[in-house]
Amino acid sequence: MTLRDIFGTAARLLASLALAAGASAASADTFPSKPITLVVPFGPGSVADTVGRAYANDLSAVLNTPVVIDNRPGANQTVAGPYVYRAKPDGYMLFLTALPIALPPSMQGKLPYAGLRAFTPIADMLKLGFVMVAAPSVQAQNLQEFMALVRKDPTKHSFGSAGIATALHLYGEMFNKELGVKTLHVPYKGGTNEVMADLIANRITFAFVPSGAMEFVRAGRVKAFGLVADKRDAAYPDLPTMEEAGMPGFKTTTAAPAAHLFIVAPPQMPADIQKILNEASNKVLSNPAFPGKIRAVGIVGMSPPSNPAQVAAAITTGETRWDALIKGANIPLE
C-alpha cells in the first residue's frame, strides 16, 4: 500500500467518524420527532398499566410528542422483555418494568439478557405496597387466627399469584417459609384481576396483592390481614404491617424487598437521548400531582429524582435483594 493510499484511507475513516458524530448530535437535537412507544408487560387494567398510562400521558406533555401504550403481557415480563431488548436504542421504545423479574431457570437459556441490568436505565418510578388478603369464607379475623388455621392443615389452603416469580408468588412462598408450611401455589396468566376474582369467589384461600385492593376489603368482599411494609400506610391506618400482625420475619426492611417499578430502554442507547428521557421522566414523576393520579394502585412511595447512574444502582440493589430472598427461602421458580 502506498503512502497516498494510507492517507486516503485515513481521510475516509475520519470523514465517516465525523458523519457518525454529526448524525448522533442531530438525533439529539431533533429528538423526539415521532411518537414514543411505552411497552407494558401486563394487561390493560393492571397496576402497571394504570401507572404506565398516567406516565405516558404526562411524558407526552413534557416532550410534546405522543406516547402510546403497547401491552405485551405474559410469562413474568419475558414476552415484553426480549421485544424491547432487541429494539433499536433510538429512544422511541421504552419499557415499564417491575422488580422482581426473577427468571425461572428453564427460561434463562431462552432469553437474550440476564436481568434488568442489561437494559438502559431511564427512570426510577415508585415502590408498590402489597397487602395480604383472604377469601371471605376464611374463618379467621386476623393474621394470628389465620396462621393457626393454616398450621392445622396446610393442604386445605392455596394462594394465588400473577405467575411464577412475580411479587405475588414470592411473597406467598415467603409466608409459607415463615410459617413452616407448604400451601398450594395457583398462578394466573391474567394477573392480579384474576387472582382477586377467584379469591372473592372462595376458589383460593389467600393472596398478596397491591394495596389498591383495599377497596374490596372496605366493601367486605375479602379480608385484609397485613401490609407488606416497614410501617403502616397513612391511607389505611387501621391495617397493621405483617410484622405487627404477628409475623416478625416478614417486613420489607430486612426480608421482603418492595415491588419496584422502573422505566428502561434497549441497551446501548446514546447518552444524549438517555439524558433527555431521564430528565423528562423526572419532571413527570416529581410533579406533586402525579401520585394522586395513581394512588388507587397502592403506592408505598414515589422515588426521588435520579440520574441514570442512580437508576442503574437502584436496579442492581433491587435485583440483588430479590435474588437473596429467592435463594435464602429456597423458593421454587419452576
pLDDT digits (tens, 9 = 90+) for 249-298: 887 766 778 889 999 999 999 999 999 999 999 999 999 999 999 988 88
Query: Residue 218: which CATH number?
Result: 3.40.190.10
- Helix residue ranges, H only, the chain: 3-30, 47-63, 80-85, 105-108, 143-152, 167-179, 192-200, 214-218, 242-245, 271-286, 290-294, 308-328
46 within domain boundaries: yes
Residue finishing a domain among 245, 280, 301: 245
Tell me: do 121 and 150 sit in the same domain. Answer: no
In sequence order, the 6+-apart residues with CB closer than 8 A to the CB of 309 are: 121
Q: Which structural domain range is residue 211 located in?
A: 130-245
Cell reading at 210: 397491591
Q: What 3-state class would DSSP assign to 238?
A: coil
User: How buried is residue 153: exposed, middle or buried, by Cβ count under 10 Å (0-12/13-18/19+)?
Assistant: exposed
Predicted local distance difference test score (pLDDT) of residue 299: 78
Residue 287 to residue 306: CA distance in whole angstroms: 14
Query: Which portions of the chain are predicted below pLDDT 70?
Result: 1-27, 253-254
- Calculate the alpha carbon distances from 330 to 124, 206, 270, 322, 325 in Å: 29, 21, 40, 12, 8
Inter-axis angle of helices 3-30 and 271-286, to 10 degrees? 10
5 within domain boundaries: no
238 within domain boundaries: yes
Residue 42 to residue 318: CA distance in whole angstroms: 20
DSSP single-letter state for residue 98: E
147 within domain boundaries: yes
Residue finishing a domain among 245, 274, 292: 245
The structural domain count of the chain equals 2
Tell me: do 281 and 175 sit in the same domain. Answer: no
Could you tell me which of 45, 77, 292, 52 has the C-alpha nearest to residue 192?
45
pTM, full prediction:
0.87
Predicted local distance difference test score (pLDDT) of residue 330: 84
- Rg for the chain (alpha carbons), in Å? 23
Could you tell me which of 282, 131, 98 has the C-alpha nearest to residue 214?
131
224 within domain boundaries: yes
Cβ atoms of 296 and 214 within 8 Å: the answer is: no
Tell whether the torsion through CA atoms of 70, 75, 76 and 81 is positive or negative. Answer: negative
Q: What 3-state class would DSSP assign to 88?
A: coil
Residue 329 to residue 312: CA distance in whole angstroms: 26
Query: Residue 303: which CATH number?
Result: 3.40.190.150
Tell me: do 183 and 208 sit in the same domain. Answer: yes
Cβ atoms of 289 and 134 within 8 Å: the answer is: no
Instruction: Identify any residues that bridge with 38 across adjacent strands, giving them in sequence order.
Output: 69, 94
Tell me: do 146 and 235 sit in the same domain. Answer: yes
Predicted local distance difference test score (pLDDT) of residue 19: 41
Residue finishing a domain among 220, 245, 270: 245
Predicted local distance difference test score (pLDDT) of residue 3: 41
Tell me: do 183 and 282 sit in the same domain. Answer: no
Tell me: do 183 and 221 sit in the same domain. Answer: yes
Tell me: do 183 and 213 sit in the same domain. Answer: yes
Tell me: do 139 and 228 sit in the same domain. Answer: yes
Tell me: do 161 and 59 sit in the same domain. Answer: no
Quote the distance between the C-alpha of residue 70 and its chain's center.
16
Please state the φ and ψ torsions of residue 55, each to the nearest 5 degrees.
Answer: -65, -45
Predicted local distance difference test score (pLDDT) of residue 254: 67
Could you tell me which of 42, 40, 248 has the C-alpha nearest to residue 144?
248
Predicted local distance difference test score (pLDDT) of residue 23: 41
